[in-house]
Structure 1
Amino acid sequence: MLFTKSFVLLASLVSVAVAGPIESRQSATRCGSTSYSAAQVRAAANAACTYYRADDTAGSSTYPHTFNNREGFDFLVNGPYQEFPIRTSGVYSGGMHSQDPSTRPRWNALTNILLVGSPGADRVVINTNCQYAGAITHTGASGNNFVGCTGTS
């Protein structure tokens, strides 16, 4: 009986771990002069996945949205891809600044965390299976193009 309960508990934990939105292979990265920890990369990628799976966007923004990879990055996972802002100050929220739902123009129950309004220049890229693909930035790129952050080429 104890063995059966232990096995069921272990199986439940494994299924939760396997069903998690983003694999833990993403690591710290540097985009231009801005450094992001592995935890910051993971938080942005997880937010992108959560919004994508809910067919929703961050606040009134269009993120996450399709990333067409016109620059030809050699990601470790196959597309199609979605891009989502990464910020050092918290997870991008699409312009909402208050955690009080009565003071915001739009409450999104998916993310009740530190909210950041400007997308900035840096992005994480995931595929539509919610696998982390890489990090890219407008910093140092011409026009509206992207260049890879460290670890993305």
Structure 2
Amino acid sequence: MLALRYFMLLAFSALTGAIPTLYETPNLPKRTISGAAAADCDGTQFTSDEVQIAAQVAASRINNHTQVGRSKYPHQFNNMEGFDFLPDCTAPFFEFPIFNDKIYTGGKNNNEKPGADRVIIGSLKGADAAFCEFFAMKKVRISLKGLYFAQFRIVGVFLMSPYITNKVKI
């Protein structure tokens, strides 16, 4: 009878230890992101912690060769506009969506919208990276021979830093 009691106790303990949690926690090892700072992206303000987290997630995904969302973030940012970044930030550059209240995951079936704001990272060394810049995108309506379509364009680069000389709105 005593053996049956211990057996039941052990069986119940094993069962309770195997119950999954209700919340998924991302497996993100600590990444070193240099230069992360608070910023104002065309009126949306981000804390240095929000910048750090978005940059860490991007660096982690690059290091693990994983992308999320329909546009496959993080993806390479070619800097065709020729923006000057922080001195410690070197190519290749990568962009990743940033939000105030969540981390971009791509959503179920990759249908989560990435929003308009992006964090740019570069100077990748293993799992570490440097924060380079922010940019905001705006939907513009373009007419081509009477046909209208929408396209996203970078409307400005926004960084609250004394090192950046090109804080411009395009």
TM normalised by structure 1 equals 0.67
In structure 1, the partner of 2:37 is 27
Mapped pair 1:51 → 2:64: no
Report the CA distance between 1:139 and its aligned residue: 3.9
The equivalent position to 2:97 in structure 1, one of 49, 70, 85, is: 85
SS of 1:51's equivalent in the other structure is: helix
Kindly indicate which of the two structures has a greater share of residues assigned to strand.
Answer: 2
- Distance in 1 between the 2:138 and 2:42 partners? 6
Mapped pair 1:37 → 2:37: no
CA distance change for structure 1 residues 126 and 23 in 2, over 3 Å: closer, same or farther?
A: same
CA distance change for structure 1 residues 61 and 141 in 2, over 3 Å: closer, same or farther?
A: closer
Counting aligned pairs with the same residue, the percent is: 31
SS of 1:126's equivalent in the other structure is: strand
SS of 1:58's equivalent in the other structure is: coil
In structure 1, the partner of 2:15 is none
CA RMSD of aligned residues (A): 2.7
**Structure 1: which 5+ runs fail to align?**
1-18, 97-104, 107-115
- AA aligned to 2:72 is T
In structure 1, the partner of 2:152 is 144
In structure 2, the partner of 1:9 is none
- Distance in 2 between the 1:62 and 1:128 partners? 20
Whose relative contact order is higher, 1 or 2, with alpha carbons under 8 Å and at least 6 apart?
1
- AA aligned to 2:120 is V
- AA aligned to 1:58 is V
- AA aligned to 1:145 is R
SS of 1:144's equivalent in the other structure is: strand
- Distance in 2 between the 1:89 and 1:117 partners? 14
CA distance change for structure 1 residues 139 and 59 in 2, over 3 Å: closer, same or farther?
A: closer
- Distance in 2 between the 1:46 and 1:118 partners? 20
TM normalised by structure 2 equals 0.61
In structure 2, the partner of 1:117 is 112
Aligned length: 118
- Distance in 2 between the 1:140 and 1:35 partners? 20
Report the CA distance between 1:117 and its aligned residue: 2.8
- AA aligned to 1:134 is E
**Structure 2: which 5+ runs fail to align?**
1-28, 142-150
In structure 1, the partner of 2:132 is 133
For residues 36-66 of structure 1, give each alpha carbon's deviation from its aligned partner in whole angstroms, at most 9, with x where no partner exists: 1111011100000000000101255500001
